[in-house]
Every structure is written in C-alpha cells, then in structure tokens.
Amino acid sequence: MIIPFLVVGIIIASTILVCSYRAIYGPGTFNRIVAANVIGTKAIVLLIVVGYIIERPQFIDIALMYAVIAFMGTIIIAKYVERGELCSR
C-alpha cells in the first residue's frame, strides 16, 4: 500500500514546483499572494501523505496547526493591503 501514497506525494511535490512560476513572475502583488496561498494548501496535504509513507502518525497534528496559521496569515495580509495599516484608532 506504499506505492499509491508515493505516487500521490510525487505528483503534489511537482505541482508545488509548477506553482512557484506564478509566485515569481506574476505581474503585481495579488497574483503572488494567491500563489503563496495555494502552496500552503498543498503543503498541508503533502505533510499528511508523508506521514503515511514513513508510518509516523504525529505529522497530522503539525498539519492541523499549520492550516490554522496559514488561514490567519492570508486574512491579515488581505486586511493590510486593503486599508494601508493594521489597526485603526
């Protein structure tokens, strides 16, 4: 049962490489933010699949924490770009 997990892991790693083209060459700020968000999503899935390949189930806790932090990062950057500052007094 290791072979399907290995194939899926290699496919996801190569899509992360292809996505970084948009992160480098995207004209403007917003295309780069979208590419960073997509790379974060694929990194969560890659963590879970690698946890199955080397048979250590502790990687799923790391994936759960990283999902929360990546979501918070996207919302904070969107709020900063929209208003020009983070807290308004």
Partner 1 sequence: MLAIDVVATMFLAAGAFFMITGTIGLLKFPDFYTRMHATGKCDTLGQILIIVGCMIYEGFTLITIKLLMVSAFYLLAGPAGGHALMKAAYVTGLPVWKKGDKRM
The site for partner 1 (CB under 8 A) is made up of: 1, 4-5, 7-8, 11-12, 15, 18-19, 21-22, 27-28, 30-31, 33-35, 37-38, 41-42, 44-45, 48-49, 52, 57, 60-61, 63-64, 67-68, 71, 74-75, 78-79, 81-82
Please tell me what DSSP assigns to residue 54. T
Residue 84 gets the label, from left (phi > 0), alpha (psi -120 to 50) or beta, of: left
Residue 73: closest CA among 47, 42, 27, 41: 41
Q: Which of 1, 89 has the CB closer to partner 1?
A: 1
